Structure formats: structure tokens, C-alpha cells
């Protein structure tokens, strides 16, 4: 586009120059014609044609030619050759024929009318313009050649950069086994080598982190299993003691009540830790034994399994089926509903299920005390409690929302929380 624009501009400028040059030549030859007419009038008045010819011969070796005619008969010619056969009207006129500019001036001497014609060639300027046109044509050819080379270079650069970019995107998505595109040479070679080294290092670190995470998960699961066995024995022993203790021994009864309550709390903690460990282990191993199930029925079962007799639960559920783990989704929903029952102090809960494009959207909303904004970014962390005293009083483990988050992540979904005039959890799960 630039070359084409410059070519058009150059051609336009040449035409303008040529036109301006011809106009200037016309003006100059008109002035010269008047001056010559004044000079030849005395010779014409005396009819001294010899003197007139001598005057015209002065222009023999110049670019300007002078011809004086009378009744279409040449009486003086600066070239000494009868080469002017151009029919010229006896009037003041300027015209161009071929590469020559002509100007004719009528001269009245008594009853006689003479025609003075002065001409000058413009072949030099025409040759210059023709030469300039050749230069422009060669410049266009060279410019196109340079543009093609630059275009190929830019294309190769773009191709190399695009290949490196695609590799970097795959690495950012966690595909550390992707092949890194490395150009043979150029400014991207060192960058590609650096990206490849970074990918290998990240892969090594990720493997180590996964090993550590797997070890941590296995360790917690093993410890939890080891705790669960004696804890079951303790709970059984407490039940037996409660049946045999005398009711009139308040101290023993109180101790047994505390022992039972704390044992139940510890049992809940162990169950949550085991459940969370299992979810994280499945997520690390990318094991997904998903089946198709009706999500609306799962929500109804979750509500039925929660103790919500004192709270009104309003539901608006569309009939939607998804692929996933029904038991895990049910556990996540139970945790959210029980949180609303225990901690919100709300008299009603709204639960809706709708389809948004290719996703199922679950909204669980209460109208209670809500969650302070400073706690919202951290409520899905392990063992994080908004109100520690209230959680201890009501037996919370601090893992309920962490389990919910991991369950939703396992399903490639997303969960958000909004607080204001109550609290609302919004879960989005892909349908496929």
C-alpha cells in the first residue's frame, strides 16, 4: 500500500512538474516572441530580407528557432532549412506539437501582414521525465522485492512466535509435557530455550509437590484411620457407661456427657478429614468415576437429610441431569444447607436450580446475619472459622466449606459467595 501510494504520488508530481514546465516555457516563448517582433520590424519595414535572415541565423545553434512568413511563404528561417510546413494562423497564439512549443505573432507593416513563429524544443525535459519514470518503475520493482522479503521474514517471525506462544499457553494450562517450539535461529531462539528450561524445572517441581501432597494426604488419611479405631471404642464404652451409671451421680453423668459430646465432635472431625483427604486424592490422581444423575432429586434428598423443621425451605428446581458423583454433590449440598441452618439465624432458605447455557446453577440463600466482607476471601480454607467461639459451641470442624469447594472443583465447577441481607452461595457445574 505504501509503495502504491508513493508511486501514485511520484507520478502525480511528475505530471505536475511537466505541466508547470510547459506553462513556464509558454510564458517565456511569448515574451521572447514580442521582443523578436520588435527587433525584426525595422527590417520588415525596409523589406530588407537579407538583414532579417542574418538576424534569424543568430539563433541557429540554440534551442530556439525563428521563422518569418508572408502569405505562407518563408522569407527568413534560423535553421536555413525549409522545415516549417506548419500552417500557422496570423494571430498571437501558443501551441505544442510533438516535443516542441510554438508561439506565433502577427506583424502588420503597412498593408502587409507577416507571421513570426518562434519555437523551442522540450526534448530534454521529456527525456528527464522519461528517465525519472524508469527510475520510479525500477524503484517499484525493488520495493516490491524488498516488501516480499520483509513479508516472508515477518511471516517466519510470526510463525515462530505463534508456535512459542501456543507452547507457553499449554504450559500455563498445566501441560508440561508439551513440545516446546524452538526456532533454529533468530531473536526467539534464546527465549524458546529459556521457556523449555523453565518448563522442565516447573515439571520437576510440580512432580515433587504432587508427591508431597500425596504423602500429606496419605499421612492424614492413615492418622485419621488410626484415630477412628480407638475413637469408635471410646464411643461404645461411653454408651455402655451411660446405661450403667446411676442417675443420682451428677458428677459422673456430667463427665460422661462431656466425654460423649467431645468424642462425637472428634468423630465428626475425623470423618471430615477422611472425606476431604479422599476428594483431594481423587483430584490429584484425576480419577473421576462419574455417572449421569438427576440434580433436582439430589437437592431434594439433601434437604430431607438435614434437620430443617424450624426453618422454611423454598425450592424452585428445574429438571436437570449432570455427569458427576451423586454422593459427593449431596454431601456438599448438605454442608451448605446445614451451615445456613446452624449459623445464619434465618427463618427461611431459598434454593433454586436453573440451567445457564451449558451449566447447572444452584443458588442457596438465607436471610440471616450474613458473613463479614473481610472473611469472604478465606471461608473455603481448611479449618477457617468466621466465629471460632460459635463454631466450638455448635460443634463445627472448619472443614465443611473446604469439602464443598473441593467437591465443586472435582466437577470442574465454580462456587461463589455473596453477603448482604443474608448470605448466598452460587454453584456452577458443567452439564457434561
Give the H or E element holding residue 213: helix 188-244
Strand partners, 416: 426
Quickly list H helices, 318-430: 326-343, 388-394, 400-410
Cβ-Cβ contacts under 8 Å for 304 (sequence gap 6 or more): none
pTM of the model: 0.49
Fold designation for 188-280: Helix Hairpins (1.10.287)
Q: What is the pLDDT of residue 296?
A: 93
Q: What is the pLDDT of residue 375?
A: 86
CB 378 within 8 A of CB 389: no
Q: What is the pLDDT of residue 392?
A: 53
Phi/psi of residue 110, each to 5°? 65, -125
Q: Which strands form 112-121's sheet, in the order they lie side by side?
A: 73-77, 64-70, 112-121, 100-109, 93-97
Which DSSP category does 294 fall into? E
- Report the candidate in 39, 207, 29, 21 with the shortest Cα–Cα distance to residue 126: 21
Q: What is the pLDDT of residue 57?
A: 84
pLDDT (tens digit per residue) in 237-285: 777 777 776 666 777 777 777 777 777 777 777 777 777 777 776 665 5
Distance (Å, rounded) from C-alpha 94 to C-alpha 100?
11
CB 253 within 8 A of CB 247: yes
Q: What is the CATH number of domain 2-121?
A: 3.30.450.20
Q: What is the pLDDT of residue 374?
A: 86
CB 102 within 8 A of CB 120: no
Cα 250 off chain centre by: 74
- Report the candidate in 319, 328, 318, 320 with the shortest Cα–Cα distance to residue 290: 328
DSSP states of 219-265: HHHHHHHHHHHHHHHHHHHHHHHHHHS-TT-HHHHHHHHHHHHHHHH
Examine domains 2-121 and 288-430 and report if their fold is the same. no
Sign of CA dihedral 31, 36, 37, 39: positive
pLDDT in tens for each of the 432 residues of the chain? 777 777 788 777 777 777 777 777 788 888 888 888 888 888 888 888 888 888 888 888 777 888 888 877 888 888 755 444 445 455 556 666 666 788 888 888 888 888 888 888 776 666 777 777 787 778 878 888 888 888 888 887 777 777 777 777 777 777 767 777 666 666 667 777 777 787 778 777 777 777 776 766 676 667 766 777 777 777 787 777 777 766 667 777 777 777 777 777 777 777 777 777 777 766 655 666 788 999 999 999 998 888 666 788 899 999 999 999 898 899 899 989 988 888 878 888 999 999 988 899 999 999 888 888 888 888 888 777 776 555 555 556 678 888 899 899 888 899 999 988 889 999 999 988
Domain boundaries, the chain: 2-121, 188-280, 288-430
CA–CA distances in Å: residue 104 to residues 24, 33, 45 = 17, 8, 19
- Report the candidate in 117, 107, 110 with the shortest Cα–Cα distance to residue 41: 107
DSSP states of 73-124: EEEEETTSS--------SS-EEEEETTEEEEEEEEEETTEEEEEEEEEE-HH
User: Please, what is the Cα angle at 350 between 348 and 351, to 5 degrees?
Assistant: 140
CB 39 within 8 A of CB 78: no
Q: What is the pLDDT of residue 317?
A: 93
Query: 40: buried, middle or exposed (CB in 10 Å: 19+, 13-18, 0-12)?
Result: buried
- Cα end-to-end span (Å), the chain: 49
- Domain 288-430 - what CATH class? alpha beta
Amino acid at each position: 500500500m505504501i509503495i502504491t501510494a508513493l508511486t501514485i504520488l511520484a507520478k502525480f508530481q511528475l505530471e505536475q512538474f511537466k505541466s508547470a514546465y510547459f506553462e513556464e516555457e509558454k510564458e517565456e516563448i511569448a515574451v521572447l516572441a514580442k521582443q523578436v517582433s520588435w527587433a525584426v520590424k525595422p527590417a520588415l519595414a525596409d523589406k530588407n530580407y537579407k538583414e532579417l535572415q542574418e538576424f534569424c541565423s543568430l539563433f541557429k545553434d540554440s534551442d530556439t528557432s525563428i521563422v518569418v512568413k508572408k502569405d505562407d511563404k518563408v522569407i527568413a528561417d534560423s535553421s536555413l532549412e525549409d522545415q516549417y510546413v506548419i500552417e500557422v494562423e496570423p494571430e498571437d497564439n501558443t501551441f505544442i506539437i510533438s516535443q516542441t512549443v510554438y508561439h506565433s505573432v502577427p506583424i502588420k507593416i503597412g498593408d502587409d501582414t507577416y507571421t513570426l513563429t518562434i519555437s523551442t524544443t522540450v526534448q530534454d525535459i521529456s527525456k528527464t521525465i522519461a528517465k525519472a519514470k524508469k527510475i520510479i518503475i525500477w524503484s517499484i520493482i525493488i520495493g516490491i522485492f524488498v516488501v516480499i522479503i520483509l513479508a516472508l521474514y515477518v511471516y517466519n517471525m510470526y510463525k515462530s512466535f505463534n508456535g512459542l506462544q501456543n507452547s507457553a499457553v499449554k504450559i500455563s494450562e498445566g501441560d508440561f509435557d508439551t513440545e516446546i517450539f524452538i526456532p533454529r535461529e533468530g531473536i526467539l531462539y534464546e527465549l524458546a530455550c529459556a521457556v523449555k528450561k523453565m518448563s522442565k524445572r516447573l515439571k520437576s517441581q510440580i512432580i515433587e509437590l504432587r508427591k508431597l501432597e500425596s504423602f500429606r494426604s496419605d499421612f492424614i488419611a492413615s492418622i485419621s484411620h488410626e484415630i477412628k479405631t480407638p475413637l469408635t471404642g471410646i464411643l461404645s464404652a461411653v454408651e455402655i457407661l451411660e446405661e450403667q451409671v446411676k442417675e443420682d451421680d451428677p458428677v459422673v453423668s456430667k463427665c460422661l456427657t462431656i466425654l460423649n459430646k467431645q468424642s462425637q465432635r472428634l468423630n465428626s472431625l475425623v470423618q471430615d478429614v477422611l472425606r476431604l483427604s479422599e476428594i483431594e486424592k481423587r483430584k490429584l490422581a484425576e480419577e473421576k468415576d462419574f455417572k449421569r444423575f438427576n440434580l433436582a432429586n439430589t437437592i431434594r434428598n439433601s434437604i430431607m437429610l438435614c434437620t430443617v423443621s424450624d426453618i422454611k425451605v423454598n425450592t424452585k428446581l428445574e429438571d436437570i441431569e449432570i455427569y458427576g458423583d451423586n454422593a459427593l454433590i449431596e454431601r456438599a449440598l448438605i454442608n451448605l444447607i446445614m451451615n445456613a441452618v446452624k449459623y445464619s439465624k434465618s427463618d427461611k432458605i431459598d434454593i433454586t436450580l436453573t440451567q445457564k447455557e451449558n451449566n447447572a446453577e444452584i443458588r442457596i440463600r438465607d436471610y440471616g446475619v450474613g458473613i463479614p466482607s473481610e472473611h469472604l476471601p478465606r471461608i473455603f480454607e481448611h479449618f477457617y472459622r468466621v466465629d471460632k467461639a460459635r463454631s466450638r459451641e455448635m460443634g463445627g470442624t472448619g472443614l465443611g466449606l473446604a469439602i464443598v469447594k473441593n467437591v465443586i472443583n472435582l466437577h470442574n465447577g465454580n462456587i461463589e459467595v455473596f453477603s448482604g441481607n443474608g448470605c448466598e452461595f452460587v454453584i456452577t457445574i458443567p452439564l457434561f
